[in-house]
Amino acid sequence: MGEVRLPKFGLVRFRWTRPLGGTIRNVTVSRDGGRWYISFCVEDGVTEAAPNGKPPVGVDRGVAVAVATSDGGLDDREFVIPGEAARLKRLQQRLSRSLRVHGRNRGSKRRDATRAQLGRLNARIRARRADFAAQTAVRLVREHGMVAVERLRIKNMTASAKGTVEQPGRNVRQKAGLNRAILSKGWGGFLLKLEHAARYHGAKIEKVNPAYTSQTCHACKHVAPESRESQAVFRCVACGHQDHADVNAAKNILAAGLAVTGRGDLAAGLSTKRQPPERLAA
């Protein structure tokens, strides 16, 4: 058992699950699914692990398959089972139809009970998603020395498309469904787990420009949206090369991650000077 005094909570007692192993920088108290949690940000002196010398890999984060790798691996998990999805919808409907206030000054106990049930169910789904992200991330950085991923702006990608009254959006329902699918796969949480695990296993995370990675043929480098026949099938219209669409994208991501210039940045990125100058012989 331990205890810490926080400004807003006073004296908080908690149970240790493992040694902190460093200097505490800040403390976060949160509530999830009806349970209270306390987390510590600890400075442990580990800035960057030494390279582990293992082969690189490219990773594509998708909607149909959560994680696809350039070596042909497809990792996915059902975070919400059908029974939970039906119960989740039923609880959301019950919550939306319930009264916020029962009587004059008393809150609705039925609404509070529904919110508690909804919170516990969402907490179970989040824990399942976090477990998948942590296990997949640790396996990748243990088996590979460099992991190339796309530099995705998830907040912009999942923005609403309904627009304004003067300029209403198009395909709003389809965009809302895509937003839910992206958020349900936990792309951002997976990247955080990947970066955290890489520090301790000697791997490097390389973020690359995501432009055209899903439309480019890895064999002949021809770019065409028509080559992606479906969510899972990629067939190049130029050379006929066929592969799983997400695996083909992962191979392109790996190639972009390996294309590092002599100045240290990515080939699609910052500097115009591609290689350091050669020293002339005397």
Q: How many CB atoms lie within 10 A of CB 187?
A: 21
Catalytic residue among 32, 246, 265, 278: 246
Question: Which of 52-78 are b and which e, b meaning 16 or more Cβ less than 10 Å from the residue's Cβ?
Answer: beeebbbbbbbeebbbbbbeebbbeee
For residue 20, give both structure tokens.
Answer: 């902190």
Positive or negative: CA dihedral 152, 156, 162, 166: negative
Q: Which of 62, 110, 73, 77 has its CA nearest to residue 228?
A: 62
Tell me how far apart the alpha carbons of residues 10 and 112 are, in angstroms, rounded to a whole number: 26
Task: Name the active-site residue from 112, 150, 229, 265.
Answer: 150
60 is catalytic: yes
- Residue 82 to residue 62: CA distance in whole angstroms: 21
Tokens standing for residue 268: 């699609």
Determine whether 150 is an active site residue: yes
Q: Which residue in 3, 43, 60, 143 is the catalytic one?
A: 60
- Active site residue ranges: 60, 150, 246
